[in-house]
Chains A and B, each alone.
Chain A
Amino acid sequence: MATLQNQVEPQKTRGIATLLRGRAKKPGILPGFGLSLGFTVTYLSLIVLIPLSAVFLKAATLNWAQFWSIIAAPRVVASYKLTYGVSFAGAAIDAIFGFIIAWVLARYDFPGKRIADALVDLPFALPTAVAGIALTSLYAPNGWLGRYLEPIGIHAVFTPLGIIIALTFIGLPFVVRSVQPVIEDLGGDVEEAAASLGANGWQTFTRIIFPAVFPALLTGFTLAFARALGEYGSVVFISGNMPMRTEITSLLIVSKLEQFDIPGATAIASVMLVSSFTLLLVINGLQARMRRTGEKV
């Protein structure tokens, strides 16, 4: 990498073309560098970069006072609080049960294990709208679960609890799939050493295993949290969408759009984008750290 950097004159103003200029790894004979990279960069720019920049450029046409009055309006602030709160709760539940599921799948044999393992990814594969209507019908007062919960005073449909249930569903595989490979890769030798030094199972778990798995758990939690912040399809049906009470931020954007309030929708969207890009950086940092510690072991 260092030698490569020296080849590109550093003083030059760099367009994306110069920035990405390169050559085959070995003085290689492999063809297609220009074609494949050219297509990649063009397609990425047309589909992702230019359209995304539209949000920020559009938001920039508002002056600061207008922008602030939109993104700090009470109904909007209520939606941020709700969105962050329910996303955190959903991701926390996922972290607890996702850890147990990952543990069980990684360390034990039991009948139906392969099906259980495949089923973990259901929330990735099932369309969010389908999940939304299914969960709503389950927790409705006459639903399979709702009929037992309603009499004891637990109301899920059209309450923040319902949103947490939907977000828990959506986020579960992120935790399991982050944690499971790390538990599978735990070396048995450290555990044996701990045991031979007199540690009981619980001590081995809290002192040896959990610290090793924690970074992966944190990554999974953050991924589930990030996904929950932007979630829409699974939430709209169960939340009831009452302003100030059960209206999440992505729903607020849709209702602004339906009223043709495009500047309003854009301003709120820019806030969401900034917060999700920040989270993305956090996740990348966590994963880079995990890779580094992984290499050390």
Chain B
Amino acid sequence: MSAATSKGKVRAGDAPLVKWTLIIVALAFMLVALVLPLASVFVEAFAKGWQVYLASIRDPDALSAIRLTLLASGIALTMNLLFGLAAAWAISRFSFRGKNLLISLIDLPLAVSPVVAGLIFVLLFGLHGWFGPWLDDHSVRILFAVPGIVLATIFVTFPFVARELIPFMQAQGTEEEEAALVLGASPWRMFFSITLPNIRWSLLYGVILCSARAMGEFGAVSVVSGHIRGETNTLPLHVEILYNEYNFAAAFAVASLLSLVAVVTLAVKKIIEDKTGIRGEKA
């Protein structure tokens, strides 16, 4: 930015009047569209005081929602992290037919409505679904139970790590890795001492985006959860229930936890971007 300002004296839109009008329009829009909603969450959360806030968060149903959210997003993150590493390794280090098709298919879940993402698991595991009768005979519960929630979360966050790692690793050379192998390192040694340290920031970037989305997913999880209080409610679903019961202070108190996660996510993301110059692919 400073380079840009110093470069030319004759850039369009640099007249002070134009410049400050545009800055004010942009900031005013961001204030109304972004800042006010975020601020209102915290204000509404404390509208009835600290006691109500703490009680809403310490409520057993809220605590079990926190646990389930952490569990589901933890599993989804681990799985999609392994997938992202494998996919990025295969795509960036080898050439094979159908590579572009594979890259497009990895992005497919981003084009699917969350509600449809939930629906597909109903079609697979519901009572009238493909595997439903068999699961029922063996009393395995996937739909309206924790496994369904985990699967839906994995689906919606599927591409997040992979799509950060693939372009980053494609831009890297393979010399260091080859050197390690030539010098006698085992493949895993090479991976842990060369590859992983080289991609750590890009990996962390993907992990942050993936976990933020996993914790906040609503539509897909809502379809498969069955909304059993204390059992299959994640944090966003708990917010919905409280809100629909007109228990606004509690709904916003729980929502403020999720908003806090979002703010931390943005801060860490910005720090990584400034530190490394990584810019997320447009989601």
Residue A273 is within 8 A (CB to CB) of chain B in the complex: yes
Residue in B2, B30, B209, B215 whose CB lies within 8 Å of A109 = B2
Residue in A16, A208, A233 whose CB lies within 8 Å of B219 = A233
B186's nearest neighbour on chain A, judged by CB, is: A31
Residue B123 is within 8 A (CB to CB) of chain A in the complex: yes
Residue A60 is within 8 A (CB to CB) of chain B in the complex: no
Across the interface, which residues of A come within 8 angstroms of B55, CB to CB? none
Across the interface, which residues of B come within 8 angstroms of A16, CB to CB? 98
Residue in B8, B94, B158 whose CB lies within 8 Å of A23 = B94
Say what secondary structure dominates the interface of chain B. Answer: helix
Residue B177 is within 8 A (CB to CB) of chain A in the complex: yes
Residue A44 is within 8 A (CB to CB) of chain B in the complex: yes
B151-183: contact bitstring with A at CB < 8 Å (1 yes, 0 no)?
100110010000000000000001001100110
We find that the number of chain A residues with CB closer than 8 angstroms to chain B is 118
B270 touches A118 (CB 8 A): yes
Residue B114 is within 8 A (CB to CB) of chain A in the complex: yes
A201's nearest neighbour on chain B, judged by CB, is: B12
A209 touches B22 (CB 8 A): no
Across the interface, which residues of B come within 8 angstroms of A54, CB to CB? 120, 123-124, 129-130
Identify the interface centre among B1, B104, B129, B158: most chain A CB within 10 Å of its CB: B1
Residue B29 is within 8 A (CB to CB) of chain A in the complex: yes
B126's nearest neighbour on chain A, judged by CB, is: A262
Residue A73 is within 8 A (CB to CB) of chain B in the complex: no
Across the interface, which residues of A come within 8 angstroms of B15, CB to CB? 201
A121 touches B266 (CB 8 A): yes
Residue A215 is within 8 A (CB to CB) of chain B in the complex: no
A108-144: contact bitstring with B at CB < 8 Å (1 yes, 0 no)?
1110101011111111111111110111011000011
The answer for the CA separation of A148 and B53 in the assembled complex, in Å, is 28
B55-94: contact bitstring with A at CB < 8 Å (1 yes, 0 no)?
0000000000000000000000001001101110111011
Residue B54 is within 8 A (CB to CB) of chain A in the complex: no
Across the interface, which residues of B come within 8 angstroms of A174, CB to CB? 282-283
B37 touches A134 (CB 8 A): yes
Across the interface, which residues of A come within 8 angstroms of B196, CB to CB? none
A37 touches B126 (CB 8 A): no
- Tell me the chain A residues, 19-78 only, with Cβ under 8 Å from chain B: 19-26, 28-33, 35-37, 39-41, 43-44, 47-49, 51-52, 54-55, 58
A1 touches B1 (CB 8 A): no
The answer for the CA separation of A25 and B23 in the assembled complex, in Å, is 48
Please report the number of residue pairs spanning A and B whose Cβ atoms sit closer than 8 angstroms.
345
Residue B207 is within 8 A (CB to CB) of chain A in the complex: no
The answer for the CA separation of A209 and B217 in the assembled complex, in Å, is 38
Known contacts A1-B95, A49-B105, A127-B215: A103-B13 contact under CB 8 Å: yes
Nearest Cβ distance between residue A282 and chain B, in whole angstroms?
11
B23 touches A104 (CB 8 A): yes
Residue B200 is within 8 A (CB to CB) of chain A in the complex: no
The answer for the CA separation of A271 and B177 in the assembled complex, in Å, is 47
B102 touches A20 (CB 8 A): yes
The answer for the CA separation of A106 and B108 in the assembled complex, in Å, is 30
B12 touches A24 (CB 8 A): no
Residue in A33, A128, A226, A237 whose CB lies within 8 Å of B111 = A226
Nearest Cβ distance between residue B135 and chain A, in whole angstroms?
15
Residue in B86, B112, B216, B274 whose CB lies within 8 Å of A35 = B86
A19's nearest neighbour on chain B, judged by CB, is: B98
Nearest Cβ distance between residue B84 and chain A, in whole angstroms?
9
Residue in A101, A106, A232 whose CB lies within 8 Å of B114 = A232
Across the interface, which residues of A come within 8 angstroms of B111, CB to CB? 226, 230, 276-277, 279-280
Identify the interface centre among A129, A192, A196: most chain B CB within 10 Å of its CB: A129
Identify 10 new A-B residue pairs, CB closer than 8 A, beyond the known A124-B209, A130-B236, A272-B116.
A22-B99, A29-B182, A103-B13, A121-B269, A127-B236, A133-B251, A134-B40, A135-B37, A138-B40, A253-B115
Chain B residues within 8 Å of A, Cβ to Cβ? 1-2, 4-5, 7-8, 10-15, 18-19, 22-23, 25-27, 29-30, 32-38, 40-41, 44, 79, 82-83, 85-87, 89-91, 93-99, 102, 104-109, 111-116, 119-124, 126, 128-130, 151, 154-155, 158, 174, 177-178, 181-182, 187, 190-191, 209, 212-213, 215-219, 222-223, 235-237, 239-240, 243, 248, 251-252, 255, 258-259, 261-263, 265-267, 269-270, 274, 279-280, 282-283
Chain A residues within 8 Å of B, Cβ to Cβ? 1, 4-5, 8, 16, 19-26, 28-33, 35-37, 39-41, 43-44, 47-49, 51-52, 54-55, 58, 97, 100-101, 103-110, 112, 114, 116-131, 133-135, 137-138, 143-145, 168-169, 172-174, 177-178, 181, 184, 188, 191-192, 195-196, 201-202, 204-205, 208-209, 219-220, 223, 226, 229-233, 237, 250-251, 253-254, 257, 262, 265-266, 269, 272-273, 276-277, 279-280, 284
22 example contacts (A-B, Cβ-Cβ < 8 A) are as follows: A37-B86, A41-B102, A44-B105, A51-B123, A54-B124, A103-B22, A108-B19, A109-B5, A125-B262, A127-B215, A127-B235, A127-B262, A129-B216, A169-B34, A174-B282, A181-B279, A230-B112, A232-B113, A254-B223, A276-B112, A277-B111, A279-B111
